[in-house]
A and B are shown apart, each in its own frame.
Chain A
Amino acid sequence: MSVRKAGESEPPQPEEGGSSAQLSQPVRTSKPAEDGDKKSTNKRLKDVDICVPIVYGTVAFYLGRKASESQSHKWTVYVRGATNEDLGVVVKRVIFQLHPSFNNPMRVIDSPPFELTECGWGEFEIAISLFFHNDVCERQLDLYHHLKLYTEDESGPQSTKKPVVVESYNEIVFPDPLEACFARLQNHPAVIVPRLPAGFNLPNPVSIDQKNDKERGDTKDHPLSQWFLNFSEADELLKLAAARQEVQAHIVNVRRKLSMLDGPPQLSKPPSGYEYA
């Protein structure tokens, strides 16, 4: 499972004859690095963000009886869509950089699901590098995750049934994407795009090759999916709103006090008709 040959890592080809004529830019070629040539065929959508919510982390199982000195745990590191959708539309390749004590510590995953399973005994920091399709972004994005094998409370024996799960939620933002990229991704469930104003002419989106079920890239029915954590923004939003209200109330209070100190010119004598009831 560690290295896969290039599958859908190629940018989507204009298979249909009709659409290729309408494509305003050749998606295949690498786009120029400079931002300055806006008049070229690679037009970007200004003030538009493409947002890809992801979750990345590790799930580690204690091997119990099968454990040895050097291999006490079996763990999987992965990057998945936050809603378990297929990240392959955006991500071309993921490279997991493991501890140098591993063989071939640089593990390249060329197709979704972007994950890696290994056995070991030690905790260390895994570097996860995301590479995107050419029309999406030419630069890689680096994430870091600390592999956790042991629970906080060291009381009692480790369970082989319940893994140690550490996941982090984040969102990848691509500002000012290429028009073709936007067209390609705008209807994909893994991606959040803003609604464009009406009358916006985008090149026709090119449909992605249909994958057969064996090579599905989404993680909806992933064997580890039962351990995936839930990330709902509603909770956080509620808490933030409540906190803001409280702070705002305090601000109003303090402002009131300040204005009362400023208002009536007083020094040692209390003002004749002052504000306190």
Chain B
Amino acid sequence: MDAKDILGLPKSTHPASQEKKSRPLKESQRKPDGISREVYALTGGVPPLMPAVEPLQLKKRPPTDEKITWQWLPFTSSARKDNLQLYHWVIVVNGIPPTGDYSFAKYNKSVDVVKYTDEEYEKHLTDDMWTKEETDQLFELCQQFDLRFIVIADRFSSSRTVEELKERYYKVSRSILIARAAAFPGNISEHPIVKEPYKFTQERDRKRALSMVLSQTKHQERKDYEVLAEAKRIAESHMAARNAKESELLVTFTMDSERAIVFGETLSPPSNSEFAPAMVAHSTSMAENASTLVSLRMLRVYLRTYALDQMIQAASSSAGLRTIKRVEQSLQELGVNLKPRVPTKAVCAQHLDLRKEILTLLNLQKQLQHKEAEGTSYHDGPYETPGTPKDRTFVPDSTSFGGEVLGDRVGKRDQKRKALGRAEAPSLPAQSKRPRKLRASDL
């Protein structure tokens, strides 16, 4: 049908009349004023309900009294040194053409490239790697291209790298400046070329490194990050190991099974991010331990209780006030004096170790809480029941601590409860997740 349209062939009367009818109908629909057809179609083909801004009004300008005409006139530019006559359209207001220099002439900036005489070249600038012709050509290009070295390198006759060209240029400029300043005394030490000489090797390496970084793929980037994190972890563990050894010599730390568990678990799965933070925290606290011991040895005399306090402070330096309170609460629950009654060397060592272990336990419990909070966010909240009685395998322990009976989830309220009794509360939702019976929500 369209082909016939295009060819202008007569169609059968019936469809033709129909088309004729529809076409003018459509045509009238298609002709909005002021805006193009496609734009009008964006509105959905119908005029907007709101009275839109009249398109015709938009292009109107405020009426002005001045008589404005445009004229094709010649002009001169201070940027041109030849006498080429150029023409352009100029707005003429009330018969007066504009005055002044060509408006773009002010952008014609150039660099002051040093110009040396042949004598100066003989005296200061000879070089094994560069002939005079090359140097002359270099400077000519520098002048011509305003020190755009990439272009200069491209135009340069022999193939020199950008860094080589730069080095030659800056060296020559520097020597000339210094030589001339020696002749006419003047302070040029502030001149940027003199103050900061061009370093060829540094530039080359910098650019190489930059290009390497830019061309890294995403995969490579991730790998690098992981390797750096790993290296940091290893470095910290080395420091911790060294400090641990140091402190073992100074104070008797008993290596019990718990410590073996701590180190064994943390060292074997290196990529396990769970233990890594604990390990790092452990190592930093050991470092502080070691430094406390060192500072104690600097004293000529001290009390055992003072030493214990310092070590406790060092060990809890990473813990907040609330955590420290919880540690003290736990000590009380365990029936241990906050300050030992008989602070002998052995007692103090045990006391310190106990505090550290309590800290470890509290950190682990916090981790567990977080892990479970994470896990529970995937489940339907209202359908989860906190542990049913048959799931509670830890009740004996918690009651022995006098901790309250549990049932709620991790929440702010937990923090007001007794320290170790709370150990069991978060575990229950985890347990109840496992043997979950099929519920209507699962279907």
| A interface residues (Cβ-Cβ under 8 A, vs B) | 35, 47, 51, 53, 132, 137-139, 141, 143, 169-176, 231-233, 235-237, 239-244, 246-248, 250-255, 257-258, 260-262, 266-268, 270-271, 274, 276
Contact = CB atoms under 8 A, between A and B. Distances in A.
A171 B304 contact: yes
B191 interface: no
Contacts of A267: 375, 378
Nearest to B357: A247
A237 B250 contact: no
A95 B292 CA distance: 30
A170 B350 CA distance: 16
B301 A173 contact: yes
Contact of B430 (A175, A240, A247, A261): A261
A254 B423 contact: yes
Interface stretch (B81-89, B164-172, B338-346): B338-346
Contacts of A231: 341-342
B296 interface: yes
B334 A243 contact: yes
Contact of A276 (B345, B353, B435): B435
B255 to A, nearest CB: 13
Contact of B435 (A141, A172, A261, A270): A270
Name which of B299, B335, B342, B423 has the most chain A CB atoms within 10 A of its CB: B342
Given A173-B307, A175-B297, 4 more contacts: A237-B347, A240-B354, A254-B364, A276-B435
Contacts of B331: 243
Contact of B365 (A139, A254, A271): A254
Contact of B342 (A236, A254, A270): A236
A239 B342 contact: no
A95 to B, nearest CB: 16
B368 A257 contact: yes
A261 to B, nearest CB: 5
B361 to A, nearest CB: 5
16 contacts: A51-B304, A138-B300, A170-B304, A172-B301, A172-B304, A173-B302, A176-B297, A233-B346, A237-B347, A240-B354, A243-B335, A244-B350, A244-B354, A247-B357, A258-B368, A268-B442
**Chain B's interface: helix, strand, loop or mixed, by majority?**
helix
B261 A233 contact: no
Name which of B257, B261, B304, B307 has the most chain A CB atoms within 10 A of its CB: B304
A170 B303 contact: yes
A51 B345 contact: yes
A247 B361 contact: yes
A86 B55 CA distance: 109
Nearest to A255: B364
Pick the 5 closest A-B CB pairs, nearest first. Answer: A171-B304, A243-B334, A240-B350, A248-B258, A254-B364
B397 to A, nearest CB: 8
Nearest to A246: B334
B343 A169 contact: yes
B417 to A, nearest CB: 15
Interface string B327-338: 000110011110
Nearest to B265: A255
B316 interface: no
B402 to A, nearest CB: 13
Given A170-B303, A261-B371, A270-B434, A244 B342 contact: no
Nearest to A140: B301
Contact of A248 (B256, B365, B420): B256
B367 interface: yes
A258 B274 contact: yes
Contacts of A236: 337, 340-342, 347
B274 A262 contact: yes
A233 B379 CA distance: 52
A276 B434 CA distance: 9
